[in-house]
Structure 1
Amino acid sequence: MTTILATRRLLLPAATLSLTALLVGCTSGESTSSPATADATATTATTATSAAKEPVEVRVAHQRLAVSHDGGVTIVDVTPGSEPRELTTVDAEGYLRLNPAGDDRHVFVSTAEGFQVLDMGAWSEGHDDHFHHYAGDPALTDRVIKASKPGHVVAGEGHVVLFDDGTGEVTTLDTAATDLPVTSAFTLTPHHGIAVPSGHDYLVTTVGDDGKTRTGIAVVDVNGKELQAFHECPGTHGAAEAHNAVLFGCTDGALIWKNGATSKVAAPDAYGRIGNQASVPSSPIVLGDYKVDKDADLERPTRVTLIDTRTGDLKLVELGTSYTFRSLGMSESGTPVVLGTDGSLHILDAESGTVARTIPVLGEWEESLEWQDPRPTLLIDGETAYVTDSATKELFVIDLQSGETTATLTLSHVPDEVTGA
């Protein structure tokens, strides 16, 4: 174990929304720092427009999902106690990716121009021992953080960090302010990377080169100055927070960064790639995928990993069915869930590393050879699972505790990605 910045405590959000939406959702894949000032980057963003209808205070919190499709994003109301319904659809061109901003209100839509801010139009504000809830019309604002190839988005306590794979620019925004101002920006060597906020003074980033080779992680300050680097993680991809630790996937296992120290988790195979993960801050367990054929055009794995970030213990769980990078989720209580191509949700026991039960939801399906093609997708918020079926255009709402499908909505468009604010 290598110690780094031991006095710094990792600060990431304690939101109930599973980090699947933040960190699961790409398939592959890059550090000499080149600091840039916040003032310089602020010019890349335009002023946000207000929602069409001014928000008003409401009795209960309105819960909404953003669902991408060919030609735009549909916002769906899934407030408990009422039937799900589509609120509006905003037009946008290109292959659209969705990531929550971490402020319980906004979503970043990755477009050809960069990271565009979608105002979901509903949020809650704490006041002493209670909350005030507000709701209005969703709107795709004209606020865009320019990026030539918008990549990973990671929210931390009071901040959200955007990574431009094309230029290597890392931009941090303040999510405590409604207009999401830029607080810092710097440039790394371009690669398919990720940056995780750690308090207000440091970030943990992937390390890569011009050849798109990722070798590990580095701790940098807000100007991009490298303080420490660790190269024990070939093919670094994805990051998941779990109980004050962050786990990064590698092609030979995983790397855990915790309390200023790193430790390596070795895969049981020489090539054992963990590239996509799901976690919640309250649980020390991270759910990850697991692939063993580095030469496969498309591997259809049937095993997943459960890693305890307290001990580094890795368990392989055989599902008996394949799954995809949009199949992983974790409930607020720390229950790992996998959507299989058999159409069922596989509920895992995090401690024993076994499948505890299955919940049938869809019919059987097969992953497309093209990773951008729509496919069934899982999102978990609290103890509720949302599953989309691209074949039928349906959205299913499942109570994970009872196993009951509580609502179904037929969407107007073929769903692709789905996230919540």
Structure 2
Amino acid sequence: MNTTITSRRRMLASLALATGTLLGLSACAGAAAGDPAAGTAPGGTGDAAALIGPRVALTYDGGLLVLDGTSLETLADIELAGFNRVNPAGDGRSVMVSTTEGFQVLDTGAGSADAPELTDLVFEASAPGHVVRHDGRTVLFADGTGDTTIVDSADLLAGAAAGRLPETETVPSPQAHHGVSIELADGTLLTTIGTPDARTGVRALDADRTETARNEECPSVHGEGAVRGEIAVFGCSDGVLLYDDGVFTKLTAPDAYGRTGNAYVTDTSPIMVGDYNADPDAEGYVLSALTIVDAETKTSRVVSMPEGVGYTWRDVARSSDDGAVVLGTDGALHLLDVTTGEFGASFPVIEAWQGPAEWQDAHPALVVDGDTAYVTDPATSSIHSVDVRTGELLATGELGAVPNEIAVVG
């Protein structure tokens, strides 16, 4: 069901209240299903209270794993055929699983002792692609049609508790393409321009979905985010495109080919960190440089990784102090000061590794939640949590399968 524009936009105060209320409702509903009152936790430990906290969702060839985010104990092993992707849904508990049918809701039980469950709730989408979370809104992009589906993130909790999908808004694209959309606080929807053969830029639609601006100087547009001040950033094959207060600005890369395909941002820093590739003929997916963009001053620069160390798009994250953390091919976490562009401390975590032959292939991945870094190690079918401030190993989880993609919620 599509909402009207008037009902679609909600005040932040109402969202915050709704989120708190729905968390309580969901916890009550889930308590009956998981039966923590009987003293048996989903993982069989008998200590339900110990499992209340973040959850980690992992994909493997043939299924999903859900782990307790503190102990890294496996709480659920769910069979699911195909190559599936996982993204936090934005409500602090759910994960969107990209399947052949669309975006399927995985209830991880984060913040409770509830057993994880792959629900029957599916946002239907042809070739489900990017999931973007910003300002209390979750935005889903279907590559097969170009449709953008928008939902209030907090409504996902109520929907899961009631066994139904929440109300959504759908905004079509002129043509199907591998794209992405992000909605800003004032209702502006920024959505990519493209065809099945090429992507060229971004257009801005107001709250009534009337186009107000566009820029088609961003070839191969890919990767998005919003930094402090709600300045939106998009990667291009020759630089970065910014949208600030109704105006697009293109920052050209220092190299003729200088591709940024992923944006790593926080809403408390004006600085975007992006992956960077200056060689269009390079084989494989390992990169050796990053781009740093100051969206407020509209400047950018390229910084090199430490000598002999590479990374892939799965290996960059932002920390609670607005710094950046990179998991290198040497198996160490490298801390980057995004203000100076200098690398500081590094902490060894896993053995050295090589990049994947195909982008879908399992290889080490990094997610940082607060000050905790989660590092997967396909070579040993394990996962580690590390304090990014000190390098202390917090926990290790032995998995019964080779981990591929990862999402952390809660």
Listed one character per residue, the Cα deviations across residues 341-380 of structure 1 (whole Å, up to 9, x for unaligned) are 1111111111110111211111111012111110000000
Matches within 5 A, 1:172-321: 172-177=150-155, 178-179=158-159, 181-188=166-173, 189-199=175-185, 201-211=187-197, 213-221=198-206, 224-243=209-228, 244-298=230-284, 300-319=286-305, 320=307, 321=309
Q: Is the 8 A contact 2:285 2:356 kept in 1?
A: no
How many Å separate the matches in 2 of 1:369 and 1:60? 37
Q: Is the 8 A contact 2:314 2:365 kept in 1?
A: yes
Q: Is the 8 A contact 2:284 2:355 kept in 1?
A: no
**Counterpart AA for 2:87:** N
Deviation at 1:93, TM superposition (A): 1.1
Listed one character per residue, the Cα deviations across residues 61-114 of structure 1 (whole Å, up to 9, x for unaligned) are 5111101111111110023xxx32110111111101001110101100001111
**Counterpart AA for 1:71:** G
Deviation at 1:412, TM superposition (A): 1.3
Residues paired across the two proteins, number:
361
How many Å separate the matches in 2 of 1:414 and 1:174? 34
Per the alignment, residue 168 of structure 1 pairs with 146
Please point out which of 333, 345, 348 is paired with 2:333: 345
How many Å separate the matches in 2 of 1:281 and 1:233? 23
Change in Cα spacing, 1:327 to 1:187, as seen in structure 2 (3 Å) is same
How many Å separate the matches in 2 of 1:227 and 1:314? 26
Change in Cα spacing, 1:224 to 1:168, as seen in structure 2 (3 Å) is farther
Percent of aligned pairs sharing the same letter: 42
Please point out which of 381, 386, 399 is paired with 2:387: 399
How many Å separate the matches in 1 of 2:387 and 2:187? 40
Per the alignment, residue 53 of structure 2 pairs with 62
Per the alignment, residue 41 of structure 2 pairs with none
Gaps of 5+ in 1: 1-10, 13-48, 124-133
Please point out which of 85, 91, 98 is paired with 1:103: 91
Change in Cα spacing, 1:54 to 1:224, as seen in structure 2 (3 Å) is farther
Matches within 5 A, 1:57-96: 61-79=52-70, 83-96=71-84
Q: Is the 8 A contact 1:239 1:248 kept in 2?
A: yes
SS at match of 1:391: helix
Q: Is the 8 A contact 2:101 2:124 kept in 1?
A: yes
Q: Is the 8 A contact 1:185 1:222 kept in 2?
A: no
Q: Is the 8 A contact 2:285 2:312 kept in 1?
A: no
How many Å separate the matches in 2 of 1:309 and 1:89? 42
**Counterpart AA for 1:97:** R
Per the alignment, residue 138 of structure 1 pairs with 116
Q: Is the 8 A contact 2:374 2:384 kept in 1?
A: yes
How many Å separate the matches in 2 of 1:282 and 1:359? 25
Q: Is the 8 A contact 1:50 1:139 kept in 2?
A: no
Deviation at 1:278, TM superposition (A): 1.2
SS at match of 2:379: coil
Deviation at 1:222, TM superposition (A): 5.7
Change in Cα spacing, 1:265 to 1:61, as seen in structure 2 (3 Å) is farther
How many Å separate the matches in 2 of 1:360 and 1:241? 31
How many Å separate the matches in 2 of 1:176 and 1:299? 36
Per the alignment, residue 416 of structure 1 pairs with 404
Listed one character per residue, the Cα deviations across residues 122-172 of structure 1 (whole Å, up to 9, x for unaligned) are 23xxxxxxxxxx331110000011112000011122321110001111111
With the length of structure 2 as denominator, give the TM-score of the two structures: 0.83
Task: Kindly indicate which of the two structures has a greater share of residues assigned to helix.
Answer: 2
How many Å separate the matches in 1 of 2:381 and 2:289? 28
Root-mean-square deviation (CA), in Å? 2.2
How many Å separate the matches in 2 of 1:385 and 1:324? 16
Listed one character per residue, the Cα deviations across residues 195-244 of structure 1 (whole Å, up to 9, x for unaligned) are 00112632101111242x11111112467543321112111100022112
How many Å separate the matches in 2 of 1:151 and 1:222? 23
How many Å separate the matches in 2 of 1:54 and 1:190? 45
Higher relative contact order (CA 8 A, sep 6+): 1
Q: Is the 8 A contact 1:184 1:222 kept in 2?
A: no
Q: Is the 8 A contact 1:195 1:205 kept in 2?
A: yes
Task: Kindly indicate which of the two structures has a greater share of residues assigned to strand.
Answer: 1
Matches within 5 A, 1:6-21: none
How many Å separate the matches in 1 of 2:74 and 2:347? 26
Per the alignment, residue 37 of structure 1 pairs with none
SS at match of 1:122: coil
How many Å separate the matches in 2 of 1:409 and 1:59? 16
